[in-house]
Amino acid sequence: MLQNWLTRIDKGRLRAASQTLRATAGAWHAAVRGRIARAKDRGVPLIVVLASRNLFQDRVRLITTVIGIVFSVILVSVQIGLYLGFERMVTTMIDHAEADLWIVPRGTRNFEDPSLLDDRQRFRALSIAGVAAVAPLVLGFAEWRRPDGGATPVFVVGSDPRSGALTPWNLVEGSIDALAAPSTVAVDRSYFARLGVKGLGDAGEMRDQKARIVAVTAGIRSFTTTPYVFASFDRARGYMGAPADRATYFLVRLAPDADTSAVRDRIAQNIADAEVLTTAEFRARSRSFWLFGTGAGAALFGGALLGIVVGTVIVAQTLYSSTKDHIAEFATLRAIGSSTRYIVEVILWQALLSAVVGFFLAMLVGLVIVTVTADSVLPVVMTPGLVLGLLLLTVLMCAVSAVAAIREVVRIDPATVLSR
């Protein structure tokens, strides 16, 4: 008798559960059909509507998700932007020099690693067929005496203004031709305070020799924060105290029809205690030293990786919590016949919408950072390639973050809807 009573109770519960499931499924089916109709009218797929409603239903959780994505994207963009800015600054002199080949002292690691070459090397290079011109360049450190009596170290760059080998660019005041006059220099306006000057016509001293400013540039900054001071070749040697028959580099320009590799090999065979590098090789060597030889590049990449990890964890936690809160709705979708693939696509659309919202907010903040740092010692650089890469990275990060939520949904039992 007891067994028959328990059987009747189980059958009664089963009938009630079945009725509840049918009623709930019917209501959801009607609601879904209504959403499908409205979505079709607006031309929006239902899957996007479901994803957006799940995402925007809890504003607090949405804000948390977006903040995590924005923080991650900004951190990555700033670190990579600093890397690009640093990469440009360490080779800014090489990039603006008019040279097909560089004759450098053997063992030179970067542009700011000055040693001296004998001037006879220049004439040996000039004797090679295919060489059109060889311009000497001298550079080194000197002490700038300010008008107020103080002093600051500077990096003197000297070349013949008429050769055009390496002359100041981004000129805003004065003229390059004025550097041909005695005791004249060109400086960047960002270093006025360091040099104790206010503009064109002011002067300082180096090695007890007057240095009057006749040209002012904008944006020629050193990543080491040491001001660049441009002067004519002979005047620069005097400011540095270098011998009259020495130069730091020789910049080789080739004839239009010359074979770069062949001329380079002939020059290398004709000179001693020096290397012959193409501009690309010298640029790569300088970048490699400053970015990886000093550890600066590794530090910037480490910061970018940290941003990716933090952003992925935050987004993963948020999507997982959102999925747990809507587990009954997902179970109902399963109960009315929705495939696992369809539900997974809903979650991925949530992740994609989160990525798009977070990315565009991060880019707005990033543009502000780029503008603010434009005139700083190390500006943050934002390129179209970087923006596209960050967009793809953000989408990938959010897609990976959705894995935990997807695993939870795949294990859903449709009967879970009965617990609502």
Report the distance separating Cα 378 and Cα 92, nearest Å. 13
Query: What is the model's pLDDT at position 7?
Result: 45
The pLDDT, as a whole number, for residue 41 is 41
Calculated CA dihedral for residues 140, 141, 146, 151, nearest 10 degrees = 180
Instruction: Work out the burial of residue 69: count CB atoms within 10 Å of its CB; fewer than 13 is exposed, 13-18 middle, 19 or more buried.
Output: buried
Nearest to 226, CA basis, from 141, 313, 102: 141
Whether 35 shows a pLDDT value over 60: the answer reads no
pLDDT for the residue 230 = 92
Helix (H, G, I), strand (E, B) or coil at 375: coil
Displacement of CA 192 from its chain's centroid (Å): 29
Residue 319 has pLDDT above 70, yes or no: no
Among the ranges given (165-174, 214-223, 252-261, 329-338), the one the predictor scored with the smallest mean pLDDT: 329-338
pLDDT tens, 283-307?
988 888 887 777 767 777 777 777 7
Q: Which residue has the higher pLDDT, 292 or 138?
A: 138
**CA dihedral of residues 160, 161, 164, 169 (deg, nearest 10):** 130
Short-list 330, 304, 321, 316, CA closest to 393: 304
pLDDT at residue number 51: 67
The amino acid sitting at 36 is I
Residues 247-259, mean pLDDT to the nearest whole number = 88
Mean pLDDT of 62-75: 78
**Average model confidence (pLDDT) across the chain:** 77
Q: Please give the pLDDT value at position 8.
A: 45
Tens of pLDDT, residue by residue over 36-65, are 445 444 445 666 776 677 666 667 777 777
Question: Would you place residue 31 in the very low, low, confident or very high pLDDT band (cuts 50, 70, 90)?
Answer: very low
H/E stretch holding 300? helix 296-325
pLDDT band at 21 (very low <50, low <70, confident <90, very high): very low
172 contacts 106 by C-beta, under 8 angstroms: no
pLDDT in tens, 364-411: 888 888 888 877 667 788 888 888 888 888 788 777 777 766 776 667
Sign of CA dihedral 215, 221, 222, 225: positive
Question: Which residues, 6 or more positions from 211, have their beta carbon under 8 angstroms from its beta carbon?
Answer: 144, 183, 184, 185, 203, 204, 205, 229, 231, 239
Tokens (6 digits) for 160: 């013949």
Alpha helices in 326-383 (DSSP H): 327-335, 340-372
Predicted structure pTM score: 0.69
